[in-house]
Structure formats: structure tokens, C-alpha cells
Amino acid sequence: MKPAMETAAEENAEQSQEKKVITRPEMEIGRYHWMYRSSRPHRYHHVPALRGNISPLGIQGCFECCIKCLGGVPYASLVATILCFSGVALFCGCGHVALTGTVTILEQHFSTTASDHALLSEVIQLMQYVIYGIASFFFLYGIILLAEGFYTTSAVKELHGEFKTTACGRCISGMFVFLTYVLGVAWLGVFGFSAVPVFMFYNIWSTCEVIKSLQTNVTVPGDQICVDIRQYGIIPWNAVPGKACGPILENICNTNEFYMSYHLFIVACAGAGATVIALIHFLMILSSNWAYLKDASKMQAYQDIKAKEEQELQDIQSRSKEQLNSYT
């Protein structure tokens, strides 16, 4: 019996040694795992949930969610949107009231005949309607640009899983870059145009200050110092009286309409300047976002190619395992 048992043990040892011989498919699989360590299947172990909303790391789950949400906020676009809304609101609101006060000053002191300033009244009324349109358009445009900032930030950081950039998204970003550039150039013209009434009112105010300073000097009468509105081209030369001199001009400067219109025109000009700065800020943001989306699209194409290659390698691995099983 003993020689038979020893013979059986030797046969089992020889069979185990034959089974331990590494075949070529096994060598290919080992080389594959050595080259692509990241492709090894990961084993996830279940971690028991703790009491309350505290994660296994000891940090509150609500806090993690808030941090993730705050990471997707486009802070640059948010600041530019607030600045744009503030500038447009100041320009439209103050400009509308200042234009109304300007018409009142012209009707009461510089052009008593309605037919002389009829064209100017129509132009000012048209400008007020344009102000309504500008306010509505930029309210919607600012919201759209802010939404585009959220989209780009989420696409670049991939905060929402498969929410990635597309060709349509890149085209929309490029269109916004062009449109913002055009609007920025247009608002530069608006900013320069809004400085014209500030210059006119400043001349009138400085003339009134000269008249006040000459009241102590009897040798120089203040009646010879005048302001002729007709030279600015806003009313025709046959308008009556068309100019104001001495005490009449000083009384005009002391009226509430002049004081309010002058300062509101200054605020409106500042609002136009703030809008220009906001559009320049938006232009920089959109340009950088478009560049990020372009790079992200290239990276996405690279990842797709890499995923296909890994899938092919996995197919080779599965076929090798099948061949190995068939050999054994």
C-alpha cells in the first residue's frame, strides 16, 4: 500500500506542477496588468453609514454638498453681471429723469415757443423709449451670460457627471464673444455721448459761479456774462430768448430742475462707464471660457480614444482567459 500511496502523491505533485506552468496567454495578461495598472478591477467595500448626516471622513454631508455647489458658481461672471445691472440701471433711470428736467429748463428759460424746440422734444421722447428697450435687453442679456458662465464652469469642472462640452456649446460661446464685443464698442459710444450733457451743464454751472464771484466786484457787471444754448445746436438760432444773462442765469442755476438734471447726468455717465467696464469683464470671461471649452473638447476626444483602446484591451484579456480555460 505504501508504494501505491507514494506513487499517487508523486502523480498529484506532477499534475500540480504542470498546472503551475505559465502559458503564453497568462504572460500576455500579466504584461497587460503591468502596463495598465489603472485598468485592474477595483473592489469597493461597503462602508457602514454613520448616524446623522456625517460622512465616514467625519465631515458633514451637507457641508460637502455646499462646497460642491459653491465650486460650480462662476464668481467672475457673477461680479460682471452685478456691475452690468448696476451700470445699466443708473444710466437708464438717471438719464430718463435728467432728460425730462432738461426739457423743462429749455421750455421755461431758453425757448418759450413750442415750435422752436418741437424737434428736440421728439428726439428726447424717442431717447426715453430707447432707454426702456436698453434696460429690458440688458436685463435678459446679463441673465443669459450668467447662465452661460454656469454652463461653462460645470462643463470644464465636470461637476455633474456626463455633463460635458459639445460643439453647439462652443459655437454659442463664440457667438456671445462676438456679440459682447459689438455691444462693448456701442457702449463706448454711449459713454462718450452721455458726457456731452455733462459738459453743457458744467459750462452753465461754472458761468453761474463766475457771476456769483463778480457780485463783490462792482467794476465788472454780471449782466454781460451770458450763456447761449443755441451755440450747442440743440435749439435753432431763431429761438427766443435762446440765452440767459446775469441774474436770470443765476436764478436758473438755483432751480431744482437744474441741480437735479446736472447731477443725474453725471450719475448716468458714470453708469455708462460702469457698463463698459462690465462688458469688457464679460468679454475676458467669455474668451477664457471659450478657450477652456476648446481644450476640454480636445481632452474629451482623447479620453474617448483612450476608452476605446482600453475596451479593446479588455476584449483581448477576455479572449485570452477563454483560451486559457480551454487549454486547462
The amino acid at 303: Q
Q: Are 104 and 121 in contact (CB under 8 A)?
A: no
Per-residue pLDDT of 189-247, as tens digits, reads 999 999 999 999 999 999 888 888 876 665 566 677 888 888 888 888 888 888 888 88
Q: From CA 324, how far away is CA 181, in angstroms rounded?
A: 64
Over residues 56-95, the pLDDT tens digits come to 444 456 777 776 666 667 788 889 999 999 999 999 999 9
CA distance 311 to 31: 16
49, with CB counted inside 10 A (0-12, 13-18, 19+), is exposed
Q: For residues 319 and 326, is the Cβ–Cβ distance under 8 A? A: no
Beta bridge partners of 54: 60
Q: Is the pTM of this model over 0.95?
A: no
| 35-51 tens-digit pLDDT | 444 444 444 444 444 44
Go through the chain and tell me how many residues it has: 328
Q: Kindly indicate the confidence band of residue 297, based on its pLDDT and cuts at 50, 70 and 90.
A: low
